[in-house]
Chains A and B, each alone.
Chain A
Amino acid sequence: MSMPSRESSISPAAWMRANLFATPVDGAITVIMGGIIVMIAIPVIDWALLSAIWVGSDGSQCRVEGAGACWPFVTAKFNQFIFGRFPDEEQWRVISVFVLGGGAIAWLAWPNAPAKARIAVFLLMAFPFLAALLLAGGVLGLAPVETNLWGGMLITLVVAFVGIVASLPLGVLLALGRQSELPIVRLVCVGFIEFWRAVPLVIFLFMASNMLPLFFPAGVTVDKLVRALVAVALFSSAYMAEVVRGGLQAVPKGQFEAALSLGMGYWRAMVLIVLPQALRHVLPGIVNTFIGLFKDTSLVYVIGLFDMLGVITVNLTDPVWFSAQTAATGYVFVAFIFWIFCFAMSRYSVRLEENLGQSRGANSYASLR
């Protein structure tokens, strides 16, 4: 798949002949596809740009016949999309959490950044507590903010981050348990993994909101957000376990045996020898699980948490902005945000895969010499 610009040696006409009109059938496909693309592109551009309403303080203009996207709806509700109902004067706390976490993640994703290990430790160990402190408040003079006021992108990112941070260690433990030689440990882990993978997340969220409160003694209440977080973390750890298992199977048994013969115990051999190789091997798969988890955060709306999707759905009943285009506009905007996050992650996963292939090649070359 070569882009015309990249191949400077051939003329555009020659490129088109080779890639678009190689045979009569090829030419026909090009013409038909061109027609289909134009048929899709024109209404989309018209809706999103040409006929779209750009300014307005209510939905009156969007209700006009033939109006396209109702963008003022997005600008008017922008604050809700990001913060939910988080109090205005406390929103700096959310922003600082975003900046801290986003900065640390960007640092880690940067190819040759220094001190990655220290940043990773900060992100996994210190940041979650710092973020919880900043967001929930109630200490150090920070006003407490109830979790039912959290919403929008904040909820999406909190659920995704907690799910990711919790699912990796849990998934590794489950995968190791599944490989264990102890029959009861193995049975428990296989049962857990298969059960969580077989049942849809919606049912677990229902469970978290309807069934989990029954599990605790009378008087003990657990925050709704926390319950959802537990469900999401356990759910994704089962999927993570299967990815990690693939990595464990790819590491030759001799590695583990060699580590044991050097006098290492089970855990030391696993942590120092087997897991680094196994996890490296399935890094793309792990990132893909993160993408799935990120998309799944949208389901928390079912138990009454208002993530970005919930914010739109709630605002659809707002009479000020009522119009035929409001829903589509809101969903397209949120889809775009989700798409940026997921696409970035999937590109990162592809790059990892390429780097992995390269380093494997380098290793085999080194061993040959």
Chain B
Amino acid sequence: MTDHSSTSAPSTSLLERVQQIWFHETYRGYLIQGVLLVAILWVALSIAQNVSENLARQQIASGFGFLDTTSGFVISQRLVDYSETSSYGRALYVGFVNTLAVAIVGIVMATVLGFAIGIARLSSNWLLSRFATSYIELLRNVPLLLQIFFLYFGVLRTLPFPQEAFSIGQLIFLDNRGLHFPMLAYGADGLFLSVPELGRFNFAGGANVSPEYLSLLLALTLYTAAFIAEIVRAGIQSVPTGQIEAARALGLNRRKVLRFVVMPQALRVIIPPLTSQYLNLTKNSSLAVFIAYPELVSIAGITLNQTGQAIEVLSIAMIVYLTLSLLTSLAMNLYYARTEVAGK
């Protein structure tokens, strides 16, 4: 009896102590967080170990030294200087600029189209509002990648050769090499308007936009505009009818009511989700990788295939998108802070 009680006494007190910890809110919190932290560290360490073993076995270099080595591939569409003797770092930079080139133009175009369609959806004209609704329901419910493929493989790539290009007033041409249009240029005689002219094989002069860029830009614009239209509609509908009636009673015409009464109030509701659509458009521009428009992810893909340094290359791409996203939410928080002061 005595030795039985002496062995069980410390075990009950241990059990009690465990119970004390488990049912004490603060200690349980420490315990849960400790376990979580240890689990994360353990996973991270074993991944790190596996990675270093695998890299050594497959003889893949690590580190960011590759950024300074010669890339050796050609990027035909670019806005900044680059040649195949440039470095991988430079190539990724070209890709980033190309991402911005499609995202910024896309954002502007999608905003204009989206606002137009969103307002049209609320029109009292049955035909106009139905058209806007159909547009939204059609474009929103089809994958963006499918729309890009349709525009690229189904439409733009099947256009005629430059010799039989479609033209608008012999100034703007559309063919399977893309869109050619007049552009201001700086030459020996100062500023002049450079007009595309058909050469032996292709157009020379003016500005040229590739079918890849065009299909990506159009698809991003049309797709995002459908979402922006719904945001704009919800924003306008959030303005109380009394506001509109009061403005009408003051003698403002319909356009002025929209411009001075409805829109300023609606914008407060519209802007936060609109910003996240802008971010979505920028992220969606990464679908360019499917049609080989050389933006950040495409270039990262090529670099990854050539160097095998998946971790470094993908980290760079991730950091770029993370930074964009953080900057956007920072701007949003500033906006919230400002409208709160300006508002109620």
Contact = CB atoms under 8 A, between A and B. Distances in A.
Interface of A: 1-2, 19-20, 22, 26, 29-30, 33-34, 36-37, 181-185, 188, 194-195, 197-200, 202-203, 206-207, 210-211, 213-218, 291, 295-299, 301-302, 309, 312-313, 316, 324-325, 327-328, 331-332, 334-335, 338-339, 342-343, 346
Contact of A188 (B36, B145, B149, B297): B36
Interface string B273-305: 000000000011011011000000100110010
Interface string B166-194: 00000000000000000000000000000
Given A211-B314, A215-B50, A346-B141, A185 B289 contact: no
B331 interface: no
Nearest to B34: A184
Contacts of B300: 203, 206
B127 A30 contact: yes
Interface in B123-159: 123-131, 133, 137-138, 140-147, 149-150, 153-155, 157-158
A215 B137 CA distance: 42
A198 B138 CA distance: 27
Nearest to A330: B154
B69 interface: no
Given A29-B128, A295-B141, 12 more contacts: A22-B124, A198-B322, A199-B318, A202-B297, A206-B300, A214-B54, A214-B310, A214-B311, A218-B50, A298-B145, A309-B143, A338-B143
A328 B287 contact: no
Nearest to B320: A199
Interface string B314-332: 1001100110111000000
Contacts of B304: 206, 210
A interface SS class: helix
19 contacts: A1-B129, A2-B126, A19-B126, A29-B123, A33-B128, A182-B33, A185-B33, A195-B318, A197-B325, A198-B324, A200-B297, A210-B304, A211-B311, A214-B54, A216-B50, A299-B145, A302-B290, A327-B149, A328-B158
Given A182-B32, A185-B32, A216-B50, A203 B317 contact: yes
B153 A316 contact: yes
A313 B125 contact: no
B14 interface: no
B57 interface: yes
**Across the A-B interface, the 10 shortest Cβ-Cβ residue pairs:** A328-B154, A198-B325, A342-B141, A19-B126, A210-B310, A327-B153, A295-B143, A200-B286, A184-B33, A331-B150
A328 B150 contact: yes
A206 B128 contact: no
Contacts of B57: 218
Given A29-B125, A309-B146, A291 B314 contact: no
Interface of B: 29, 32-33, 36-37, 40, 47, 50-51, 53-55, 57, 123-131, 133, 137-138, 140-147, 149-150, 153-155, 157-158, 283-284, 286-287, 289-290, 297, 300-301, 304, 310-311, 314, 317-318, 321-322, 324-326
Contacts of A185: 32-33, 36
A298 B146 contact: yes
Contact of B53 (A2, A213, A218, A327): A218
B314 A203 contact: yes
A33 B131 contact: yes
A19 B125 contact: yes
Nearest to B132: A33
Contacts of A332: 150, 154
A26 B124 contact: yes
B136 to A, nearest CB: 10
B168 to A, nearest CB: 16
B142 A338 contact: yes
Contacts of A328: 150, 153-155, 158
Contacts of A325: 158
Contacts of B144: 295
A202 B128 CA distance: 37
Contact of B125 (A20, A206, A296): A20
Contact of B283 (A1, A182, A200, A214): A200
Nearest to B54: A214
B145 A309 contact: yes
A186 to B, nearest CB: 10
Contacts of A338: 141-143, 146
A241 B172 CA distance: 48
Contact of B50 (A200, A207, A214): A214
Contacts of B36: 184-185, 188
Contact of B127 (A34, A194, A198): A34
Contacts of B153: 313, 316, 327-328, 331
Nearest to A325: B158
A203 B318 contact: yes
A316 B325 CA distance: 37
A3 to B, nearest CB: 9
A328 B156 CA distance: 10
Contacts of B287: 202, 299
Nearest to B322: A198
B124 A334 contact: no
Contacts of A296: 143
For A194, A195, A297, A299, the residue with the greatest tally of chain B CB atoms inside 10 Å of its CB is: A299
A185 to B, nearest CB: 6
B141 A324 contact: no
For B123, B149, B297, B317, the residue with the greatest tally of chain A CB atoms inside 10 Å of its CB is: B149
Nearest to A202: B286
Contacts of B314: 203, 206-207, 210-211
Nearest to B53: A218
Contacts of A181: 29
A198 B326 contact: yes
Nearest to B328: A198
For A33, A182, A200, A210, the residue with the greatest tally of chain B CB atoms inside 10 Å of its CB is: A200
A331 B311 contact: no
Contacts of B54: 213-214, 218
A184 B143 CA distance: 37
A181 B50 CA distance: 34
B148 to A, nearest CB: 10
B126 A20 contact: yes
